[in-house]
Amino acid sequence: MGRGKRAVAEPPASTASDDALLSLLAAGLRLQGDGERWRVSGNTLSHRTVLRDAGGAWNKLDQCWEFSGEDPTAKLAAAIDAAPMAGTGHNSGAAPAPEKPHYHGHRGRLRERVLKAGVEHLADYELLELLLFYAIERIDTKPLAKRLLERFGTLGDIFAAEPAQLREFEIDQRTLVMFRALRESGRRLAERKVKDMPVLTNWQQLIDYCHAALAHEKTEQFRLLFLDRKNVLIADEVQQRGTIDHTPVYPREVVKRALELGAAALILVHNHPSGDPKPSRDDIEMTREIKAAAGTLGITIHDHLVIGRKGHASFRSLGLLS
């Protein structure tokens, strides 16, 4: 018995004209639909006013604009084509040429500036603007960079922001992944400066690493830096994770792990998500308990660092390890 070809159902194609579809593609927009619901993705940020005015609703979860009912292609194409045009003269009956946006050529100028002078002298918003070039196409990213810095404060806070917070700015998944990668790159670069090195003679590099790892965390983490007899870092581990203002720490577990790794000394590190690194009474009491438990086994506590966005606090410098 012969086999017939099985029909494969395909989503209905847009019924709009080829010109309308080309207009959307030229604007960097992609449209998909199932006949009742239509989704527009791509370069939506620069066209969000048009999309909103045409009846679209922003879908934060899927990072696209949604339309219900009839195919919105023709309506959107007409709205995009009706964007403000430059020039009032109509010589020879020709249509006025599209007005170049005020940021036309700005990306090229900024890249050229970096190639000639480097990135060291860029303001934070300019550096963020430059990074956004490679995640968001065809729009002026300077206003977005400034709004993000105004909302979050620093580049580190932006890169560590929660996805739900970034979606308020219509940050798509590609940009979100870039932010995560940038943050991890910074942490790894800082780690390389302290790994396999005597940390007590590279103290500022150690502070920089702890800041890169913890300053922008939204919940408390308690980390242990394990050192050998030459004070070389042999391990860095997150011992406990807590809430926004508390981390449970058990001295016996700290000492047990130090013995397992053969560590001769420890540096305790934890963060304050509030941003203020001032040690709390609980921090002081917990440190005393760990110091006492470690001391009975000959393990030295060199310091306890509290990391905040506003800086750091050192128990040794504050005289809290005596």
The predicted-structure confidence for 167-176, as pLDDT tens digits, reads as follows 888 888 888 9
- Are residues 236 and 284 located together in one domain of the fold? yes
Please say which residue of 173, 188, 203 terminates a domain. Answer: 188
Highest mean pLDDT of the ranges 73-77, 110-114, 263-267, 308-312:
263-267
The predicted-structure confidence for 65-91, as pLDDT tens digits, reads as follows 888 888 888 888 888 877 654 333 444
Q: What is the CATH number of the domain that holds 228?
A: 3.40.140.10
- Using CA atoms, how far apart are residues 264 and 198, in angstroms rounded to an integer? 13
Q: Which residue carries 């977005």 as its tokens? A: 144
The predicted-structure confidence for 23-78, as pLDDT tens digits, reads as follows 788 787 888 887 778 888 887 877 888 888 888 888 877 778 888 888 888 888 88
Coil, helix or strand at residue 262: coil
Q: What is the pLDDT of residue 1?
A: 47
The distance of Cα 161 from the centroid of its chain, to the nearest Å, equals: 6
pLDDT value at 259 more than 90: yes
Overall number of domains in the chain: 3
- Are residues 125 and 57 located together in one domain of the fold? no
111 CB-near residues (< 8 Å, 6+ apart): 130, 133
176 CB-near residues (< 8 Å, 6+ apart): 163, 166
- Are residues 177 and 213 located together in one domain of the fold? no
287 CB-near residues (< 8 Å, 6+ apart): 268, 301, 304, 315, 320, 321
By CB atoms closer than 10 A (0-12, 13-18, 19+), residue 214 is buried
Confidence (pTM): 0.59
- Are residues 261 and 222 located together in one domain of the fold? yes
Give the structural domain span for 59.
18-80
Identify which has the larger pLDDT, 287 or 80: 287
pLDDT value at 302 more than 80: yes
